[in-house]
Amino acid sequence: MNRAWATAIAADAAVVLLFAVVGRSSHDEGLTLVGVARTAWPFLAGAAVGLGLAAFAHDDPRSNRAGIRVWLLTLAVGMVLRRLTDAGTAASFVVVATVVLGVLFLGWRFVARVRRWTRPFRRS
């Protein structure tokens, strides 16, 4: 596994965990490890599917294309798994999750690209 993929896996998992932590704290649900895991697991599964499809398609994991795949599959798989486990999929939650996950998944990729563009050239 190269550095770009390792970064993408770690950053995408961090996005989902941040989403779960902020969501739980904003609803006074408590920030226990079990509670965060219960909220995050469906979306982590979706992110894994999205990253797997991006790898299969030979996408650069830092690209917008990969970010959109991961975002939409995280959302779709996460909501389906939440629905199947009676965890709740209220329309307002779906809207908030769509926006927040989109901003976070595409946002870190944007920052990574800008950082690469602005780094000074180094000779080996």
Over residues 53-73, mean pLDDT: 96
Structure tokens at 86: 């009676």
Cβ–Cβ under 8 Å, residues 93 and 120? no
Q: For residues 119 and 63, which has the higher predicted lDDT (pLDDT)?
A: 63
| Domain ranges for the chain | 6-118
The model carries a pTM of 0.88
Over residues 73-100, mean pLDDT: 95
**If we measure between CA atoms, which residue out of 97, 99, 63 comes closest to residue 83?**
97
Instruction: Check whether 86 has a pLDDT greater than 60.
Output: yes
Over residues 71-83, mean pLDDT: 97
